[in-house]
Structure 1
Amino acid sequence: MIHFISDLHLHPSRPATTSAFLSFLASRARQADTLWILGDLFEYWAGDDDLPEPFNRQIADALRAASAAGLAIKLIVGNRDFLLASAFARNTGIELIGEPHCITLGTQTAVLLHGDVLCSDDVAYLQFRAMVRNPAWQAQFLAQPLPVRHKIAEDLRAKSEMSKQGKTAEIMDVHPDAVAQAFRDSGASLMIHGHTHRPASHTIDVDGQTRIRHVLPDWQDQACGLRWDGSTLSSFSGV
């Protein structure tokens, strides 16, 4: 069995979601062989040297316990936690995976990604994404004292929320052309992603072939996502 989740946005200000995730890792998640986290596990991540912070340590310890119990946890970073790196992976037992990434589900190929790159109409965001994914920018950011990084991250978080108010729903959603190209590039017939917080399954035609795009839900105080049982994909919610 495989579980797919995304967009938990874990943060001390969301204790119910944190509790749901800890319960999920200790129970339902361990019924599966593999857990895929497709981005935005954290509301933001200031750098792996922030691991000792009590909240982060609590999450890391729970991930490590689930990994030690035999659950393979694989994570694709999102637009909020893109600075998760090798120290976090070592301390939790998870595997960081680059995107897009293809896996086999039964007889079909599924392409996995966070989903933000599919929002090609949001030009301002894609420019920002290119900047913060640049190794030079990241090195400069990580060279700042941790309290400074926290302040920058909180400011960016607030600006992101404000910018959404001035954008149409269409701009913040995926673009059909970007979706079609991702299918072409991967050769996949299925796509699973998060980011948009618009859970649904979409059947589309790409070059005369039927493809299915599954959008994962964001967490609102309870566990939720998709489950592959060896033959079908279905949604789940609750512990």
Structure 2
Amino acid sequence: MTTLFISDLHLSPNTTDINRCFTQFMRNEAIHADALYVLGDLFDFWVGDDDSSDFAKQVRAEFKQLTDRGVPCFFVKGNRDFLVGQRFAKQTGMTLLGDETVIDLYGRKAVILHGDTLCTEDTQYLAFRAKVNQPWLQWVFNRLPMMLKRKIVGKIQQGARDTKQSKSLEIMDVTQSEVEDVMTAHNVDLMIHGHTHRPNTHRFTSSNQQAMTRIVLGDWYEQGSILSCDPHSLTLETRPFGEK
């Protein structure tokens, strides 16, 4: 009995090692899981559910093979794949979740999320997030020609890279008070998220003296990163990229 969590793979046609590790994980490990949760930024940037590239088709096929075998798959949108929609869900058999979702993890309640909304000091990013998640703007973008969408995405990505270089690490990390507020609001003592690329298990006591645990998933830039949960443990694990 195992439930798996992944996030921040940042898959693209150019991430050959990551793509290979992802495929091996899906076929050799996820296939045996009770469930798989993807907590955002599966893609380096998802341009829309109408992406018909070979890369997009292959990723969709991996999830479809998994769900067809009876493994439930759940997806929380990240800041790189906020354009994932119901068409993608239908094609893959995945279930799209909201920004914050409480799940039952072998009898223990946990709140899961991508993690970007916890970084409340990064006001510039949160303003950008609010803008691009407006339904009318996404409706317009999704109806643009694919070539134009890719050009727009390219500019957004370059702007994000330039902005990130000027930000302090503290601004891009979570705000502890927001973590506690979210956990308290959902009445849980366990939170699981990604986004910050700082894999760790944080145990702390809240302001109301409750013991809490926050688990941060790792990125897949240099190796695969997985949270493996069973009825008795929660373990952060890595997977080497291996031979080509």
**Which band: TM-score by shorter chain?**
over 0.9
Q: Give the alignment of 1:72-221 within 5 angstroms.
A: 72-206=72-206, 207-221=208-222
What displacement does 1:109 show?
A: 1.2
Q: Distance in 2 between matches of 1:143 and 1:67?
A: 29
Listed one character per residue, the Cα deviations across residues 198-219 of structure 1 (whole Å, up to 9, x for unaligned) are: 0111112222101100000001
What displacement does 1:38 show?
A: 0.2
What displacement does 1:221 show?
A: 4.8
Q: Distance in 2 between matches of 1:178 and 1:237?
A: 28
Q: Distance in 2 between matches of 1:170 and 1:237?
A: 25
1:32 aligned partner: 33
Q: Distance in 2 between matches of 1:174 and 1:235?
A: 19
Q: Give the alignment of 1:42-61 within 5 angstroms.
A: 42-50=43-51, 52-61=52-61
Q: Distance in 2 between matches of 1:43 and 1:135?
A: 21
What value does the CA root-mean-square deviation take over the aligned residues? 1.1
Letter matched to residue 74 of structure 2: K
1:232 aligned partner: 233
Indicate conservation of the 8 Å contact 2:41/2:77, yes or no: yes
2:68 aligned partner: 68
Q: Distance in 2 between matches of 1:199 and 1:25?
A: 21
Q: Distance in 2 between matches of 1:236 and 1:203?
A: 18
Q: Distance in 1 between matches of 2:204 and 2:47?
A: 38
Question: Please, which moves more after superposition, 212-221 or 192-201?
Answer: 212-221
Listed one character per residue, the Cα deviations across residues 32-66 of structure 1 (whole Å, up to 9, x for unaligned) are: 1100000000111111111x211100111111111
Identity over aligned pairs, percent:
39
Q: Distance in 2 between matches of 1:205 and 1:236?
A: 25
Letter matched to residue 227 of structure 2: L
State the SS of the aligned residue for 2:170. helix
> Unaligned regions of 5+ residues in structure 2, if any?
none
- The TM-score, its normalising length taken from structure 1, stands at 0.96
- The TM-score, its normalising length taken from structure 2, stands at 0.95
Q: Give the alignment of 1:9-28 within 5 angstroms.
A: 9-28=10-29
Q: Distance in 2 between matches of 1:105 and 1:68?
A: 22
What displacement does 1:69 show?
A: 1.4
Indicate conservation of the 8 Å contact 2:106/2:230, yes or no: no
Query: Post-superposition, which runs of at least 4 consecutive aligned residues in structure 1 deviate over 3 A?
Result: none
Indicate conservation of the 8 Å contact 1:120/1:178, yes or no: yes
User: Which of the two has greater helix per residue?
Assistant: 1
Indicate conservation of the 8 Å contact 1:21/1:222, yes or no: no
Indicate conservation of the 8 Å contact 1:20/1:221, yes or no: no
Listed one character per residue, the Cα deviations across residues 132-176 of structure 1 (whole Å, up to 9, x for unaligned) are: 111011112122211111111111111111111100000000011
Listed one character per residue, the Cα deviations across residues 158-199 of structure 1 (whole Å, up to 9, x for unaligned) are: 111111110000000001111111111111100000000001
Q: Distance in 1 between matches of 2:219 and 2:69?
A: 26
